[in-house]
Structure 1
Amino acid sequence: MEVNTMESKYKTQEEKYEYIAKQHGGYYRHNFTDHAYLYNLYFPPKDVFNHLKDNIHNLVLNYPMAQNALAELIGDVIDQPAERIVVGNGAAEIIKILSGSLAKKLIVPVPSFNEYANAAPEGIAVEFPLEFPSFQLDVDKFTAEAIKVGADMAVVVTPNNPTSLLVPKKDLIRLAEKLSHSKCMLIIDESFLDFADNKEQISLEQDIEKYPNIAILKSMSKAYGICGLRIGYLLTANKEFARKVRDGIHIWNINGFAEEFLRILPQYKQEFEDSCKIVKADRDIFYKQLCDIKGMIVFKPDANYIYCRLPDDAINGPAVTKSLFIKYNIYIKDSVGKTQPDADRYIRIASRTQEENTKLITALKDVMYLKE
């Protein structure tokens, strides 16, 4: 069966761009190449889809499991006890609880994933500028600012979105230890860590019991290629903090398809690891291709997307984004709306297949100096 398209929503490619630019998903219905959203194109394997199809009647007709049983399923995947885990309808549900309900004063380095600040009531979120132009996190300055503003929750996304840069594990540990004296919880978002090299040595998941003021948040959509299933989780050894987050989640927050995916996921551990290797290999080639563009500043990525500063004599990010879409039907993200200097000079490009990445390089070179 063909995917239902929505061509009636627009008459020209420019109208299509204006429509898409206001959306937050559903891109597959609009027939363009999506270099904006960030997910694993090589997982899940066909066997997973076949399993879900074979069980569709039970999955649709019956109530799914509730929180405790779902936490056990996640625990089987990450080798952690269920009492440390809270399962969300995507990481977004948990972010809404953290920023919107629990934090009295939250601090987050920027540019970063906007939802942490957006989900907070007015006056709750404090944005801490990353070192410019390197976009590196200065742990000492961040700690000092967190203490100064009286933050009870600090957020670090690693690898960061949009910069695709990793925060070293030793820096995160030092940050957690510094913040513990002021009773500040450190939320570490590891949603893209599966695409980093040596992720086992970088992740704090297996060290979580040592740091009661750390909670790890992870969206499974990106690494596992399941954006439509909506699964995320929070992991912490702080039982009181876990309880507070869990109290904000309703009884049936995960649907049956997501539950069944979690149930069978441990069977596909090797396939998942192999898929991440392919993603990283494609990304590394893509990175080299972008570096070859004269005047482009390209940040070496630790995730499956790449952050770039356009050449000074090229058109700006919004113009490049629009021109790519109108002329080549390719969609990327500019950084307008991010809190950073020169936001309109930066673009974030998701790595796809080698063939698609190469087509984007050709298209990007063509539109970078177009004048509207």
Structure 2
Amino acid sequence: MQAIILAAGMGKRLKELTQNNTKCMVKVNGVTLIDRMLHQIEKKELSRIIIVVGYEGQKLIDYIGTLGIQTPIEFIENPVYDRTNNIYSLALAKEWLVQEDTLLFESDLIFEDAILDAILSDPRETLALVDKYESWMDGTCVKLGDDDSIEAFVPGKQFKFSEIRDYYKTVNIYKFSRHFSETHYVPFLDAYQSALGKNEYYEQVLRVITMLDEPEIKAKRLEGQRWYEIDDIQDLDIAESIFTPDEDERVRLLQGRYGGYWRYPKLLDFCYLVNPYFPPEKMKDELRANFDTLLTEYPSGMRVNSLLAAKNFSIHQENILVGNGAAELIKSLMSYLKGTVGFIRPTFDEYPNRYDRSNSVDFTPDNRDYSYTAEDLINYFNQHKVDNLIVVNPDNPSGNYIPKAGLLKLIEWSKKESICLVIDESFVDFADEPDNTIIDQSILSKNPHLFVMKSISKSYGVPGLRLGVLASGNAETIAKMKKDVAIWNINSFGEFYMQIEEKYKKDYAAALVKIRAERARFQTELGKIKGVRVVPSQANFVMVELNEDIHPKELLKRLLIKHNLLIKELTTKTNGRNYLRLAVRNTEDNDTLIRAMKAELEGTI
């Protein structure tokens, strides 16, 4: 068996990275694509490697000569690479195709060795390697029959997003038997080129062949093996995080993205916090039905969006501000605080990170659960005077919860002490106590020293919309903050969500019942794992303490590398102690994490 690699293209979408180099000379984690691919192919002891070069062809030939590849290499030049497409490059190699069985590659791929193992170990002689379609994929797709027959090739012009559940993406690695090349591919390649010219794709020939009664070619479905196609700098960035050989570096790169994990479709994210049971499908259908309008129309300004938020939370318009996520509002609010600020540690770092540490006073509960009451806070800050106090309730990451009666006592005390009190109730809806919100007009009006923050993204399961609100009886400060943020800080999708949200309050209430039940079950199952102690939580996440001989960073790495699970380790937040924070997802996802933790921990202890 031989290999043919198509490497004539210019790689224009990689811009300056291919200004003087062909695309396959771009480096991923310090190694060029062609270097990696050739060494992977050489391990399979093929008879030869044929490479079709074009753009910067001599530079590529000279470079390959430095790589120490022992397998014989033949080069074919495509002199009109800038006026042809890959159908012509492959046609230049057709005399080689009919000499023996062939593995066909495009040179802009990066893949793990298991990819080659999968296609070579399959006894079927002619195969197209395919993977289930995901949103990051681009190019030719196929539809398959139950017997792996290719029922249809779907080029980009015929791609329908309504049918993506039925699509598989061609990986652009093929196995052609010599017989298939002689009787099917090369004759049809010649005919297709004669009819339609040289500026086409070689997959179009396969598309025609699959219409025959006996096309010979079947699909080989991947089962989780990793690969990526490098077309632009975004692809390059993602590929580096997937294929870095340094496991610690892979963890660092993934954590440093702070989201966007839909680009890693096999990754389950237990780090960032969600509501798995809301919004309901009907609400999503309503958003979809209005997509064209929302995409092409400007959103309303701050005044209208404040009106929508006021309607949804039953308070006055002058007492509420809408933000592009709670993070935007936190940044603005913290700039208005003067004097010393009290923080409870560990907590959501966006608050303390936005304030001068020399004017910060920390309260750290003296117990393993990091639990505290309103009385604990009052006692501590009576002795350690502050001008402002930040309380996240339930707290993040501990899940500690102060009941509403305790918060009202805290509000009364802070008013008496002339302390500006900020209560972040982004997770309060998940608590078992009913009717526990402090966003209440009567409470706000009586307490202008009180500011209440709420992340719509976290509570309502719409983090992609980036919505948060800040409510206060201090209308003057709210008015000033409205001038701080951009007049169009909320996009049309966020505005429309607020417009329709009231219709789905019953669905939201039902979703909260489900997530509370799942949280209780999740905590029980986590508690059964050896070496894990569960901290009681009233939020949509659970903090757990690990035995001393289990390091959280090591467990995080093992779960990510071996199981594609991302968790939050808390050693920095807890002065090096062995704590994790785990998001509550749906039952299926939570059970996946539990199985993985059992696999990693029960053999450790």
- Tell me which residue corresponds to 2:281: 46
- Tell me which residue corresponds to 2:307: 72
Deviations 1:137-182 (A, max 9, x none): 3545534654666533211011111011211222222222222233
| 2:168 maps to 1:168 | no
Q: 1:127 to 1:370 in 2, by over 3 A?
A: farther
- Contact 1:159–1:166 (CA<8 Å) still a contact in 2? yes
Q: CA deviation at 1:294?
A: 3.2
Counterpart among 581, 594, 598 of residue 361 in structure 1: 594
- Contact 1:309–1:345 (CA<8 Å) still a contact in 2? yes
- Tell me which residue corresponds to 1:199: 434
- Contact 1:99–1:106 (CA<8 Å) still a contact in 2? no
Distance 1:103 1:3 in 2: 46
Please state whether the residue corresponding to 2:274 is helix, strand or coil. Answer: coil
- Tell me which residue corresponds to 2:214: none
Counterpart among 256, 275, 291 of residue 22 in structure 1: 256
Distance 2:292 2:563 in 1: 41
Counterpart among 288, 305, 313 of residue 524 in structure 2: 288
Distance 2:357 2:483 in 1: 23
Counterpart among 255, 264, 269 of residue 491 in structure 2: 255
Q: Which moved more, 1:180-189 or 1:256-265?
A: 180-189
- Contact 2:321–2:482 (CA<8 Å) still a contact in 1? yes
Distance 2:284 2:401 in 1: 32
- Tell me which residue corresponds to 2:460: 224
Distance 2:354 2:282 in 1: 37
Q: CA deviation at 1:125?
A: 3.2
- Contact 1:223–1:276 (CA<8 Å) still a contact in 2? no
- Contact 2:526–2:532 (CA<8 Å) still a contact in 1? yes
TM-score under structure 1 length normalisation:
0.91
Could you say which structure has the higher strand fraction?
Answer: 2
- Contact 1:70–1:87 (CA<8 Å) still a contact in 2? yes
| 2:352 maps to 1:117 | yes
Alignment of 1:220-369 (within 5 A): 220-313=456-549, 315-338=550-573, 340-341=574-575, 343-368=576-601
Distance 1:166 1:293 in 2: 25
Counterpart among 135, 151, 154 of residue 3 in structure 1: 135
Distance 1:190 1:260 in 2: 23
Distance 1:196 1:138 in 2: 15
- Tell me which residue corresponds to 2:377: 142
- Tell me which residue corresponds to 1:151: 386
Report the AA paired with residue 457 of structure 2.
Answer: S
Look at both structures and tell me which one has the larger radius of gyration over its CA atoms. Answer: 2
- Tell me which residue corresponds to 1:90: 325
Q: 1:47 to 1:140 in 2, by over 3 A?
A: closer
Distance 1:247 1:106 in 2: 24
Q: Percent identity?
A: 33
Q: 1:298 to 1:42 in 2, by over 3 A?
A: same
Distance 1:125 1:100 in 2: 14
Q: Which moved more, 1:320-329 or 1:233-242?
A: 233-242
TM-score under structure 2 length normalisation:
0.57
Report the AA paired with residue 164 of structure 1.
Answer: G
Q: CA deviation at 1:121?
A: 3.9
Distance 1:76 1:18 in 2: 42
- Contact 1:310–1:345 (CA<8 Å) still a contact in 2? yes
Q: 1:24 to 1:100 in 2, by over 3 A?
A: farther
- Contact 2:398–2:535 (CA<8 Å) still a contact in 1? yes
Distance 2:508 2:532 in 1: 33
Distance 1:122 1:109 in 2: 13
Q: Which moved more, 1:323-332 or 1:276-285?
A: 276-285
Distance 2:264 2:364 in 1: 36
User: With CA pairs under 8 Å and 6+ residues apart, which has the higher RCO, 1 or 2?
Assistant: 1
Distance 1:222 1:21 in 2: 19
> How many residues are aligned here?
367
Gaps of 5+ in 2: 1-132, 138-234
Q: 1:64 to 1:150 in 2, by over 3 A?
A: farther
Q: CA deviation at 1:243?
A: 2.5
Q: CA deviation at 1:55?
A: 2.4
Distance 2:480 2:388 in 1: 14
Distance 1:22 1:266 in 2: 36
Please state whether the residue corresponding to 2:335 is helix, strand or coil. Answer: helix
Report the AA paired with residue 71 of structure 1.
Answer: S
- Contact 1:193–1:199 (CA<8 Å) still a contact in 2? no
Deviations 1:18-73 (A, max 9, x none): 31122211112113011111111222223333333332333233321122211111
- Contact 2:373–2:402 (CA<8 Å) still a contact in 1? no
Q: 1:119 to 1:193 in 2, by over 3 A?
A: same
Q: 1:199 to 1:215 in 2, by over 3 A?
A: farther
